[in-house]
Amino acid sequence: MTTTAGGVVGTALRSLGQRHRELGYCWVVGWCSPAAFAMLLVGLLAQLVANGNAEHGWVRAVRKLTDTYRKLPERWGGSVIPSPRLRDRPLREDPANRRDLFFLALEPLVALVVLFAPNMMAWYGLFGLFAPGIDALLGGHHGMFYGAVFNSPVAALPGGLALYYAALRLAGPASRLHAHRWLPRLLAPAPSVAAEMERRRLAERVEELTETRTTTVDSREAELRRIERDLHDGAQARLVAIGLALGTVDALLETDVERAREMVRQARDSSARALTELRDLVRGIRPPVLAERGLVDALRALALDAPLQAEVDAEGLTSRPDGPIETALYFAVAELLTNAARHGDAAHARVELSHADGVLRCTVWDDGRGGAHEEAGPELGPGGSGLRGIRRRLSAFDGNVDIESPAGGPTLVMMELPCVLSSRKTSSSSERGSATS
């Protein structure tokens, strides 16, 4: 019963706070609109006085002001109005300038009609709440404002409450009408500009996908060459040597038994080393723990083997991503931990995994000396090629990588991959605690 009452009170307080935010929108934007119009007039006057020499700075000021208006809907439950600017258009020739000027000219009138009604009702209602005190300070002369209407300051109290409540009720529709209907009318891109922007966006997307495909193909080709080289120079060479040794053993069995036994022991050692190299090669393609137990346990095993103290926090990840995404993220974290220990002199690292809104997020933090940069060089320090490789690896899945690594540390790398978790659950051992080495 108490819980239900607390929930009702909490809901009422949140609703009241939202209504006051909407009333605040009406107040702030309602008074800023005349100021914007005054700026427009001052700019026009400056243009006339300066014979057009101040046009460049004035247009930039108008742009900044209208861009501020474009961000208003996001703060009040909507979305940011996209900018109508075309990057290749000169400042003076941009058709959006005319729409911006037209908006600033009409905005004070629209704000007066839409936003000032709840403003005045709210302030007049507040005046009614304080009318008895004001009347007492004036020595009983209450013939103006509420006294002229109710003929008594006491009657102003319920009247003030009613007006303030009506202002709160009216502020929501007024703010939404202004932010979601009026602002996009002139501040959003014109239909022709919107079509051009969409065409360019699609062209950029096609170019991005083409580049990603090329990078993925090149990475796969390089990986195949690495596997072929490791097989040829490692396990394959050892197996050939074992075959030759066994042929020699066959010839020595009749003449030198001790020498044959020695070569058999060498062949046994070579076969063990070849098996180890094959296991390492398979682990470099897709670690068995990753395939069998999933990403969380694979990262915890990686943390245990890392050359620094590392821990993994993945309490909120109860299902597994797809196999290719698991593999890409596993090797990205492995690269980051290696770089932190080898190049950053880090002693501690932390890996955090979470999934929300269809995005898998992985954050890797270390207490190293920082300075990690993708464009590595003599003056920037090592590790750049590894970071670029991580970005290329994740770009195949439309992933994103953000790096924060100021000089002196710490280093924070945030990776995001759009994905939907599968129905496969993480292993029971990975659902509790974090691994620390």
CA 30 vs CA 68, 69, 165, 220: distances in Å: 14, 12, 19, 59
Q: Are 58 and 41 in contact (CB under 8 A)?
A: no
**Whole-number pLDDT of residue 357:** 78
pLDDT per residue over 379-390, tens digit each?
333 444 578 778
Tell me how many helices (H) and strands (E) the chain has.
15, 5
- pLDDT (0 to 100) of residue 94: 73
**Distance between CA 190 and CA 181 in Å, rounded?**
15
Phi, psi of 371 (to 5 degrees): 80, 10
Record the pTM.
0.50
pLDDT of 433: 38
The whole-angstrom separation of Cα 173 and Cα 374 is: 49
Burial of 40 (0-12, 13-18, 19+ CB in 10 A): buried
- What pLDDT, on the 0 to 100 scale, is given for residue 326? 83
Cβ atoms of 260 and 253 within 8 Å: the answer is yes
Question: Are 134 and 157 within 8 A, CB to CB?
Answer: no
Beta-strand pair 359-366/348-356? antiparallel
pLDDT beneath 70, residues of the chain: 1-7, 46-56, 76-78, 87-93, 131-156, 215-216, 219-220, 223, 227, 230-231, 279-286, 316, 375-385, 422-437
For position 78, what pLDDT does the model report? 66
Tens of pLDDT, residues 323-373? 788 888 888 888 888 888 888 888 888 888 888 878 888 889 888 888 877
The reported pLDDT for the residue numbered 31 is 83
Residue 76: predicted pLDDT: 66
The pLDDT of residue 49 is 65
The pLDDT value recorded for residue 428 is 42
Residue 431's pLDDT is 40
SS3 206: helix
Q: At what angle do helices 96-114 and 116-137 cross, to 10 degrees?
A: 40
